[in-house]
Structure formats: structure tokens, C-alpha cells
Structure 1
């Protein structure tokens, strides 16, 4: 039958010609994709992948900034393993990596839920945000338009032990405020977590508000008809439907907490709180470029491991709506 069709049909409709046309269209499609992505991928490889590979190479050398970099194997990593200053800074960075995303994302989800679905029931609207929700979005997002250095300077003045706004307010009610930035490690860590959360919570309010706004109102109305309160609606409806956004935000905030370089460098005295990026920066100042790049490689590994853990632990069946 196939032979008969090949005989009766015109040459351009033969099965061989059809297979050839399909193969040509597939090849043409891949040519278009490769041609479209070639230049962006080349730039990405040159300006992103290449520096990573160079850093990994220099981490195995004794490079001190000169034209010569002698290969020394794992000596920099052995030195790092025995360096107590590195471990002290890493403990602080890991603490921020674990705690800061939890605090920031919880606040971001709470504010976003109140803005999107936490208001009183209005006429004709079963689900609505609190009054003035549009203004709150602008207020929460405002820290995102400020430079990190400016944020560090402002909060440094707020947490100043002698003339700071916070301790001055506590003095008015008869409470002696602690030395936030010049005393115990725990107070400095609390101050650092406060600044990190304040800096980034507005971004997550906008992010989670957009995710919650995409949820059909019919789902909320059905939950209300079933007698679900705000708490049950949030944990039973809202959170499962925006879980992919929460997981992505968790990874992003963890990387931001791990890279809290500018805030610590500007706001914190050197002897109080030190994170791994600041420790790396000080090694660069000392001319230990090979050792510093090995610390950078460890930061890269920490970021990748953290991202993989969150992707693995936070994985669940995708809910379509």
C-alpha cells in the first residue's frame, strides 16, 4: 500500500519527501535557536563562567597579584581549614544564611497576605486587602531603592550606643540600651538580622503579593463558604499555591544573607562581627590573592549546596490553578 501511494502521489508528496521535509524543518528550528542564543551564551561564558573558572584555578596557587602564580595544590584549603578566623566568620555567615531567610520570608508573606486578602469583607468583594494596600506596597518597597551603603550608615546611627535613636528612645522610658555594635556578639547579630530583614522584606512583599494576586478569587470564596478563617485559608490555600515562589525567594534571600558584605563592612566595627565575605576582602587587602580566591570558592560551594538543599527539601507536587 505504501508503494502504491508512492506511485500514485506526485513526487513532492512521497513519504521520503515528507520525512525529508520534517527533518529539514527540525534542523531549521535548531539552527534558529542556536543562532538566537549564540551571542548571549558567548557573553555569559566570557563574563560569568570564565571568572568562576579563573577563581577556581587561582585558588590552587600562591598568587599574590604579580604575573607569576605557582601551583601549590590544596595548600590554601589546608590553611583555611586550620584558620580559626575563617571558621568564626563562617559560623556567622551560616547563622545569617539559616535565620535571615526565615525571618524575612515570614514577614514578607504576612504583609503580602494582609495586603492581598487580609482586609475586611467589602460589598461585592468577598476577598480584599487592607485599606491603603497600594500605599503599603510603596512603603515596604522603599528600602529597595536605597544603596546598601546608605542603609548601613543610617542603621549604624540608629544602633549607635551613645547617640543612637534606639538607645535614646530606651533611655526615655528608663531602660539602658545595650551596646549594639560595640559589645556582645549576640547583640551585633540581632542588629545585623534586623537590617537584613528591613532591607529585603519589601521585595518579598511585592513578590508574594504578585503571586497571591494570581490566585483566582473563586478559590478564596469557596474556602470562605466552607467556613475557613484567615489562618486556615492561608495555610490551606494560599501557601500551597505560592510555594514555588516561596522556594525561589528562600534561595535568593539565603544568597543575599551569605553575601552580607557591604552592611557588615560599613556598619559593624571590625572586632564585633565578621562574615566570610569580609574575611575574604581582608585577605585581598593583605595581598593573599590565592588564599582569598579559595575562600571565594568555598562561598560558591556553600551557595550551591544551600540552593540544592532548599530545592530538595522544598520540592512538592505542583498545584495547577
Structure 2
């Protein structure tokens, strides 16, 4: 009976595992193989060059600049997104209090959830088009227009949001945070709703304030969800290709001004499609894969805590 059950399970797993090996694992293996060659992407003929691509990679100033930008995004995007999403989730679930001492969300919390989640239904490509209008460097831009109306910016010298080397990366980060907060608000809200209300009511009876309730009750019980969110946002920060390639100035997948809007994905695609250095681009892809896996493992290890049962 047991042997028949194992064959039955194996039969169902065979097809998806085969597809996964063909369409996911095999391309990874090919990419690793090509990274040791001088493949141009067009010619089927190429030579084995060993570690030359990797040696050149870490002498490439543009790639090192892009790597540093990804590290900055990796630090700020998860922290800012998770903090804002946790705050909003706390307010719409347990931020309000009734006269009887019960626990509930702030007034209109259901409406707020819809509003906060709305950016998540838009693709990053659509967001890029929308925020190009927001960041326009004239009076027609939403931000410049508002600042000019408030008298904070001179109409003759508007802020060049996407052309300013000191602002371009932060402008991209704002879009990612705005896009992601709604999703993680819903994720944290679902986790909060599984926490018995009696725990919050007991904390209130003991005289705990909102800040104490959040840090002593909510955050420890949501830690698994926070850990998962951190890993996913870290992966987002390591990519950033869609926004960086469509919104930053520059020839061939953006990256400007003067490479201040560069991320590893834009450097990779420029080398692959524009410069015909496909083997070199594959080496970048392998480095990105290794860094993403290392960051995920470190994050899971560093944020691991003893599970709290309730």
C-alpha cells in the first residue's frame, strides 16, 4: 500500500519537476557555462576564457557603481517599506479603541486598505509612465508644480528630479516603496487578524500604550511575516531593472545621469544587447544570483527568532 502511494505521488511530481528542470534549472546552468566564455550572443562559436570575465567585472567602475547602488537600495527599501506597512497595518487593525476598551482599527480602516493596496494592481511599467509625469522637470510636473505653487521652488529653475545625480536613486526608491507598501500592509494585516484580540485587550488593561503594544505584542507575533517580507524586498532591491531602464536618462537602458541611476540589471542588459558582450553579461548574472542567495540566507539567519505560540 505504501509503495503504491509513493508511486502515485511520484507520478504527479514527475511532470512539474521535469518542466522546472528544463525551464528554470537548465537556463541557470547554461548561464554559468557561458560566463566562462567570450560568447557574443549572436555567433554559435565562442572560446573558453576561464575567469577572465569575472576578473574584468570587478575592475569595471560602472559595475562597481551599480553594485553600490543596489546595496543602498537593499538597505533602505526593505526597512522603509516594512516600517510604513507595519504602521499602517497596526492602525487599520488595532489602532482604534472603543469606549468599552475593546480593540479595533481606526475609523474607515476598510477603505484605507483599498486605497493603500491600489498601487499594487499597477505594473511597474505603468508606474514608470505615471511617475515620469510626477518627476517632470518643468511646471507641468506634479512635484515641481506643487513646489512652485507653494513658493518653495523658483519657476525659472525647477528641480531636475531624474537628472540630478544626488536625487535620481532616491526618486526610484520612493516609487518602489509606494508600490510595495500596500501589498505588505495586506500581508501584515492578515497576520494580525490571526492574533486573538484578548491579547491586545489584556495589554490595554495592564496599561500598555500603543507604542508598547506594537513593540511588545504585535511585532514579536508578526516576526515570521516580517522575515518573509524582508527577503522578498531584498530580491526587489537587487533587480530594479524596469524602473531604472525606463525612467533614468542615458543610451541603452538608462542608468544616467553619469551612471548615478545605474543598477546591476541595467549594466547587464546593456552589455548583453548593446555591446555584444554576452559572456561578460552572463558573469554579471551569476554574480547577481550568488549575491541574492547570500543575502537571503543571511537575512533568514540574522532575523531568526524563537517561534512564539499563542
* TM-score using structure 2 length: 0.92
For residues 131 and 52 of structure 1, the distance between their equivalents in structure 2, rounded to whole angstroms, comes to: 50
Residue 186 of structure 1 and its aligned partner are, at CA, apart by 2.3
Residue 122 of structure 1 and its aligned partner are, at CA, apart by 5.4
Shifted more, 156-165 versus 290-299: the winner is 156-165
Equivalent residue of 2:217, what SS?
helix
Match of 2:206 among 212, 215, 226: 226
Match of 1:149 among 105, 119, 125: 125
Aligned to 2:50: 73
Equivalent residue of 2:103, what SS?
coil
Match of 1:291 among 262, 265, 280: 280
**Preserved CA contact (<8 Å) 1:223 1:233:** yes
Query: Is the counterpart of residue 35 in structure 1 residue 20 in structure 2?
Result: no
Map residues 219-258 of structure 1 onto 2, 5 A cutoff: 219-258=199-238
Which segments of structure 1 move beyond 6 Å, counting only runs of 4 or more? none
For residues 188 and 80 of structure 2, the distance between their equivalents in structure 1, rounded to whole angstroms, comes to: 15
CA deviation profile, 1:142-179 (whole Å, cap 9, x unmatched): 11111211101111211112131101111112212532
CA deviation profile, 1:221-248 (whole Å, cap 9, x unmatched): 1111111111111111111111011000
Equivalent residue of 1:160, what SS?
coil
For residues 211 and 8 of structure 2, the distance between their equivalents in structure 1, rounded to whole angstroms, comes to: 50
For residues 71 and 212 of structure 1, the distance between their equivalents in structure 2, rounded to whole angstroms, comes to: 54
For residues 159 and 122 of structure 1, the distance between their equivalents in structure 2, rounded to whole angstroms, comes to: 45
**Gaps in structure 1 of 5+ consecutive residues:** 1-24
Map residues 86-235 of structure 1 onto 2, 5 A cutoff: 86-121=63-98, 126-162=102-138, 163-176=140-153, 178-183=159-164, 185-235=165-215
Aligned to 1:45: 21
Structure with the higher fraction of residues in helix conformation = 1
Query: Is the counterpart of residue 281 in structure 1 residue 260 in structure 2?
Result: no
Aligned to 2:37: 61
Aligned to 1:4: none
Map residues 7-22 of structure 1 onto 2, 5 A cutoff: none
**Gaps in structure 2 of 5+ consecutive residues:** 251-255
* TM-score using structure 1 length: 0.89
Please provide the CA RMSD for this pair.
1.4
Aligned to 2:306: 317
Mark the CA change 1:30 to 1:122 in structure 2 (over 3 Å): closer, same or farther.
farther
For residues 307 and 108 of structure 2, the distance between their equivalents in structure 1, rounded to whole angstroms, comes to: 33
